[in-house]
């Protein structure tokens, strides 16, 4: 008679965490950071249809890395929750904190109760009336939630990307300079140095000055011109990239 196979709970949790981290590490990173006009979201993503960055509600954006079908399920869940709550109560009653908590509960339940954890890491960002009111939440595969200040990087190389971001981040930077900071960090993922062009990037903003729906994608000629402006400003400011005047309005 064979003995039943036993794995300690601690080992099970460790194995799940290792599995999720390896899955997330296979993809490219994304960053979310404040700039003078709101919150900027940038992902290393060549696909024009499989978005890593999306709108959840009027003032709330979503950025994710990992397995697309899994974080797309989370995005749809968040959109449905926001729509229903906004309809039943008031649109102002929908908050990024609520959505972040729901995502944390969902991912935590999947991690603890399922054999396979979801290989995702997500950010929920809400732009406020002032920079001090902005909120950025990072939610990991096990349901952990962190209230980030100013900027955050998610993905397999998030520690390295975050270190580069920290060296160049300025909350009051114009959009072109903030985009330059984000692309500079993403281009140095895994310690390598690449040239990121507009075709490699998915970019959106939560723009404080816009009425009602704050989310706006930036692409095409507008994105190319912002990248060029940021690079030019970085060259003329001895590498700081924060002395250009720019406002992102199409």
CATH code for the domain in which residue 132 is found: 3.60.20.10
Q: CA–CA distance from 98 to each of 58, 80, 102, 144, 166 (Å)?
A: 14, 13, 6, 14, 27
Domain that holds residue 52: 9-236
Report yes or no on 241 lying in a domain: no
Report yes or no on 3 lying in a domain: no
Report yes or no on 24 lying in a domain: yes
Angle of helix 175-186 relative to helix 220-236, nearest 10 degrees? 90
Tokens 């099970």 label which residue? 12
Report yes or no on 197 lying in a domain: yes
What is the rounded end-to-end Cα distance, in angstroms, of the chain?
Answer: 73
| Number of domains forming the structure of the chain | 1
Is the CB of residue 33 less than 8 Å from the CB of residue 40?
Answer: yes
Report yes or no on 63 lying in a domain: yes
Report yes or no on 97 lying in a domain: yes
Report yes or no on 46 lying in a domain: yes
> What does each of the 250 residues of the chain score in pLDDT, given as a tens digit?
555 667 788 888 999 999 999 999 988 999 999 999 999 999 999 898 999 999 999 999 999 999 999 999 999 999 999 999 999 999 989 999 999 999 999 999 999 999 899 999 999 999 999 999 999 999 999 999 999 999 999 997 888 899 999 999 999 999 999 999 999 999 987 767 788 889 999 999 999 999 989 999 999 999 999 999 999 998 887 544 443 334 444 4
CA distance 125 to 32: 8
Helices of type H across the chain: 9-25, 68-88, 96-113, 158-168, 175-186, 220-236
Is the CB of residue 96 less than 8 Å from the CB of residue 83?
Answer: no
Report yes or no on 75 lying in a domain: yes
Q: CA–CA distance from 239 to each of 47, 138, 169, 246 (Å)?
A: 30, 29, 12, 17
């Amino acid at each position: 008679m064979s003995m039943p196979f036993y794995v300690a709970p601690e080992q099970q949790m460790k194995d799940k965490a290792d599995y999720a981290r390896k899955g997330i590490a296979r993809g490219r990173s994304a960053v979310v950071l404040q700039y003078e006009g709101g919150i900027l979201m940038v992902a290393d993503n060549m696909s024009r249809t499989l978005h890593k960055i999306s709108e959840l509600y009027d003032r709330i954006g979503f950025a994710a890395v990992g397995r697309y079908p899994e974080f797309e399920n989370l995005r749809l869940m968040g959109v449905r929750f926001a729509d229903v709550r906004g309809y039943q109560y008031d649109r102002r009653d929908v908050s990024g904190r609520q959505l972040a908590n729901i995502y944390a509960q969902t991912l935590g339940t999947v991690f603890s109760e399922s054999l396979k954890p979801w290989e995702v890491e997500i950010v929920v960002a809400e732009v406020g009336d002032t920079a001090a009111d902005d909120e950025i939440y990072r939610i990991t595969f096990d349901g952990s939630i962190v209230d980030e200040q100013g900027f955050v990087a998610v993905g397999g190389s998030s520690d390295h990307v975050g270190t580069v971001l920290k060296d160049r981040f300025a909350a009051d930077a114009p959009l072109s300079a903030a985009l330059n900071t984000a692309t500079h960090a993403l281009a140095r993922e895994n310690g390598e140095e690449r040239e990121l062009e507009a075709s490699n990037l998915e970019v959106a903003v939560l723009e404080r000055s816009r009425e009602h729906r704050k989310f706006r994608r930036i692409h095409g000629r507008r994105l190319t011109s912002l990248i060029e402006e940021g690079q030019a400003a970085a060259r003329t400011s001895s590498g700081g990239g924060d002395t250009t005047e720019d406002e992102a309005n199409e």
